Amino acid sequence: MVSLTVNGKTVSVETSGDTPLLWVLRQHFKLQGTKFGCGIGQCGACTVLVNGAVVRACSVTIAAVDGATVQTIEGFDNGGDAIAERVKAAWIAEQVPQCGYCVPGMILSTVALLRKIPNPTDTEIDGAITNLCRCGTYDRIRKAIHRAAAGGAAP
């Protein structure tokens, strides 16, 4: 039995300890905004925040997050996170999403970046956002991050 806090709620799950956090989120907790992309921590589609840090949920076991605080894209639904609200609004203002599969992970990575560096440079963005987008929306992602950093104004 593993207990953790997911999006502010304490939950517990009975499953094999080597099950990746990703599959517990998606299947046990029905939090399907966290996506499976590669299973080896490369693409970032499964990015979540664990104790505030960017983590690839496909590559961390549920046993390793016992007692931790996990935030997924659904954790931003209540509108209570000002940075996340700015990021989501910026994603729409810049019309970033194409297929959209990378988007939740990208947004989690961006929220973590802006919490740490409120106004990142392009180099800092390149260093922090290692998620893959196969549709090639990187240019707009960059603009959206700058827009969110600027409080919603166009970069």
The reply on whether position 120 binds another protein by CB under 8 A is no
* Binding span for another protein by CB under 8 A among 14-22, 63-71, 113-121, 147-155: 14-22
Helix (H, G, I), strand (E, B) or coil at 7: coil
| Residue 92: exposure state from Cβ atoms within 10 A (0-12, 13-18, ≥19) | exposed
Distance from CA of residue 36 to its chain's centroid?
12
Whether the CB-CB separation of 73 and 29 falls below 8 Å is answered with no
Q: How far apart are CA 106 and CA 98, in angstroms?
A: 13
Q: How far is the CB of 96 from another protein (least distance, A)?
A: 8
The reply on whether position 140 binds another protein by CB under 8 A is yes
Q: Which CB, 92 or 153, lies closer to another protein?
A: 92
The reply on whether position 64 binds another protein by CB under 8 A is no
The reply on whether position 74 binds another protein by CB under 8 A is yes
Q: How far apart are CA 58 and CA 90, in angstroms?
A: 27
The residues of the shown chain that bind another protein, judged by CB under 8 A, are 16, 18-20, 23, 27-28, 30, 32-40, 42-43, 45, 72-74, 76-77, 79, 85, 88-89, 91-92, 95-104, 107, 125-127, 129-142
